[in-house]
């Protein structure tokens, strides 16, 4: 119970920080209505704050009821919480119907909910029951979100669908097989569905972020490195990138999301926006600089 409370406090602290980072207001999304799965924390929460600051009304769909309600309250009157487990198609369907009945429309569906995978790294030890569970959330949940958003977007002949993939879906060796495969599937889903929905004027895109020390990653890191303190773990995650002087943050994803769902990206569809400081674009041999070699 104590560790659960500590986890919630940690998540709430991070949320306030990310909210502060997205205080620039504007009207890019004025009149738009967005539904964000996994919107109670991390990337989803930063994006919800960003969308609201740009004029949207946001419904946060999350499996964590207490945190979701708290986040919606913190975000103000333009945010609402709806309980939703993305593995249950009826929950997704209800979340879409709830949004439409509250705001009369759904312009933006952000399928962002996802979980890490805690199985051993070798394929030989792959736990297929865990594999199924992760696929249920990270892949089937995304498919269900797109299905039900399309149901209400197609008749209106407009809409923007966004998903959170990952650099681990682009490149081998960055995460355990199950998680990597689930994120590769998200990139594939986006391309496949974009091919159909283009004829209705609906755009479908995804974002592939690099590692960010959200609760999701911190929980995984503390399992891999037991006993190492949080500050050191955050440092390890933020130093893992290649772009000097900066690191990937939830607000970077929120900015990319804002671009992709707004009219600035009106001709962008089937795209995977890779947010990795160049990490997956080139090889990192790790040789010392020539002047360091005697
Ligand atoms: P997070 O843990 O803060 O957010 C994940 C959210 O999804 C949580 O609010 C959680 O309650 C929710 N969720 C989990 N299972 C759910 C379910 N069955 N139904 C509804 N909601 C559910 O972590 P985050 O980093 O913000 O993760 C958001 C997305 O970003 C995930 O899809 C993750 O795979 C992806 N991602 C994260 C990173 C990273 O390094 N943090 C990098 C690339 C991609």
CA of 112 to the centre of ligand 1 (A): 6
Task: Compute φ and ψ for 70, nearest 5 degrees.
Answer: -60, -45
Residue nearest to atom 10 of ligand 1 (CA): 38
pLDDT above 70 for 79: yes
Interval between CA 40 and ligand 1 midpoint (Å): 9
252-to-27, 50, 154, 206, 233 alpha-carbon distances in Å: 19, 10, 30, 14, 20
Q: Which pLDDT does position 207 carry in this prediction? A: 99
Digit-coded pLDDT (tens) for 36-63: 999 999 999 999 999 999 999 999 999 9
Closest residue by Cα to atom 12, ligand 1, is 38
Among residues 170, 202, 205, the alpha carbon closest in space to that of 185 is found at 170
Assign 3-class secondary structure to the chain.
CHHHHHHHHHHHHHHHHHHHHCCCCCCCCCCCEEEEECCCCHHHHHHHHHHHHCCCEEEEEECCHHHHHHHHHHHCCCEEEEECCCCCHHHHHHHHHHHHHHHCCCCEEEECCCCCCCCCCCHHHCCHHHHHHHHHHHHHHHHHHHHHHHHHHHHHCCEEEEEECCHHHCCCCCCCHHHHHHHHHHHHHHHHHHHHHHHHCEEEEEEEECCCCCHHHHHHHHHHCCCCCHHHHHHHHHCCCCCCCCCCCHHHHHHHHHHHHCHHHCCCCCCEEEECCCHHHCCCCCCCCHHHCC
> Which pairing describes strands 79-83 and 108-111: parallel, antiparallel, or unpaired?
unpaired
- In this predicted structure, the answer to whether residue 21 has a pLDDT above a threshold of 60 is no
Q: How confident is the model at residue 4 (pLDDT cuts 50, 70, 90)?
A: very low
pLDDT digits (tens, 9 = 90+) for 263-291: 999 999 999 999 999 999 998 777 887 78
- For the chain, give the percent of residues with pLDDT over 90: 83
Ligand 1 centre to CA of 243 (Å) is 24
Cβ neighbours of residue 41 under 8 Å, at least 6 residues apart? Answer: 11, 14, 15, 62, 64, 67, 71, 214, 215
Residue 63 Cβ contacting ligand 1 at under 6 Å? yes
pLDDT value at position 202? 99
82 within ligand 1 shell (Cβ under 6 A): no
pLDDT tens digits, 220-261:
899 889 999 999 999 999 999 999 999 999 999 999 999 999
Rounded to two decimals, what is the model's pTM?
Answer: 0.92
Task: Using the mean position of ligand 1's atoms as its centre, give its distance from the Cα of residue 129 in Å.
Answer: 20
Per-residue confidence (pLDDT) for residue 111, from 0 to 100: 99
Residue from 83, 95, 92 nearest 33 by CA: 95
Predicted confidence at residue 105, as pLDDT, reads 98
- Of 18-32, 102-116, 186-200, 252-266, the range with the lowest mean pLDDT is 18-32
Shortest-distance atom of ligand 1 to CA 138: 32
207 C-beta closer than 6 A to ligand 1: no
- pLDDT computed for residue 24 by the predictor: 55
Q: Catalytic amino acids?
A: 179
> Which residue minimizes the CA distance to atom 32 of ligand 1?
114
Q: Please give the distance of CA 214 from its chain centroid, rounded to a whole number.
A: 11
Instruction: Report the nearest-CA residue for atom 19 of ligand 1.
Output: 85
Residue 62 CA from chain centroid, whole number = 12
Query: Closest Cα to atom 2, ligand 1: which residue?
Result: 216
- 164 touches ligand 1 (CB under 6 Å): yes
Tell me, using a 6 A CB cutoff, whether residue 47 lines ligand 1. no
**What spacing in Å lies between the alpha carbon of 136 and ligand 1's midpoint?**
14
């Amino acid at each position: 119970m104590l560790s659960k409370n500590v986890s919630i406090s940690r998540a709430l602290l991070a949320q306030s920080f990310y909210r502060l980072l997205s205080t620039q207001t504007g009207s890019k999304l004025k009149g738009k209505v967005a539904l964000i799965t996994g919107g109670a924390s991390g990337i989803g929460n930063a994006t919800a704050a960003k969308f609201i600051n740009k004029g949207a009304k946001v419904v946060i769909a999350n499996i964590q009821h207490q945190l979701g309600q708290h986040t919606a309250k913190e975000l103000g009157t333009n945010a609402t919480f709806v309980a939703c487990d993305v593995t249950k198609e009826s929950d997704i369907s209800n979340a879409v119907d709830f949004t439409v009945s509250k705001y009369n429309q759904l312009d933006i569906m952000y399928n962002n909910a996802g979980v890490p995978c805690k199985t051993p790294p070798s394929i030989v030890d792959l736990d297929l029951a865990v594999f199924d569970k992760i696929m249920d959330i990270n892949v089937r949940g995304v498919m269900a979100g797109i299905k039900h958003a399309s149901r209400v977007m197609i008749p209106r002949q407009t809409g923007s669908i966004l998903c959170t993939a990952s650099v681990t879906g682009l490149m081998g060796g960055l995460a355990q097989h199950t998680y990597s495969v689930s994120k590769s599937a998200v990139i594939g889903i986006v391309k496949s569905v974009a091919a159909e929905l283009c004829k209705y004027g609906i755009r479908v895109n995804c974002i592939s972020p690099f590692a960010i020390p959200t609760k999701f990653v911190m929980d995984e890191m503390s399992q891999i490195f037991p006993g190492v303190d949080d500050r050191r773990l955050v440092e390890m995650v933020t130093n893992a990138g290649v772009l000097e002087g900066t690191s990937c943050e939830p607000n970077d994803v929120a900015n990319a999301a804002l671009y992709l769902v707004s009219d600035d990206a009106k001709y962008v569809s089937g795209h995977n926006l890779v947010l990795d400081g160049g990490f997956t674009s080139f090889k990192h041999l790790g040789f010392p600089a020539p002047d360091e070699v005697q």
